[in-house]
């Protein structure tokens, strides 16, 4: 992908802009240590981990949650 400026990106068709956003997101996801959390986000994650560790049998596996959300059998 060549160098782009914002104006040229905004003129692209939506599907091309989506591909650019996906490429940017993938590059960010490869470097999670560089993505900082706000203090409230860290506190919320800590709270959720503590809740899970206190009651590990509660909740549902992701496959079940996804099935319910999508309404598939």
DSSP assignment of 11-72 equals TS-HHHHHHHHHHHHHHHHT-GGGS---HHHHHHHHHHHHHHHH-TTSS--HHHHHHHHHT-
- Indicate whether 10 pLDDT > 70: yes
Number of domains in the chain: 2
| 42 and 28, same domain (yes or no) | no
| 66 and 49, same domain (yes or no) | yes
| 30 and 1, same domain (yes or no) | yes
Structure tokens at 69: 């959300």
| 63 and 52, same domain (yes or no) | yes
| 31 and 55, same domain (yes or no) | no
| 29 and 41, same domain (yes or no) | no
pTM: 0.46
- Indicate whether 70 pLDDT > 70: yes
Rounded Cα distance between 6 and 9, Å, is 5
pLDDT digits (tens, 9 = 90+) for 38-56: 999 999 999 999 999 999 8
């Amino acid at each position: 992908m060549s160098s782009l400026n914002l104006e040229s990106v905004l003129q692209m068709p939506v599907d091309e802009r989506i591909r650019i956003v996906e490429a940017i997101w993938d590059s960010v996801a490869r470097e999670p240590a560089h993505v900082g959390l706000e203090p409230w986000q860290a506190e919320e994650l800590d709270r959720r981990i503590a809740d899970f560790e206190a009651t590990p049998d509660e909740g549902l596996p992701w496959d079940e949650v996804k099935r319910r959300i999508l309404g598939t059998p």
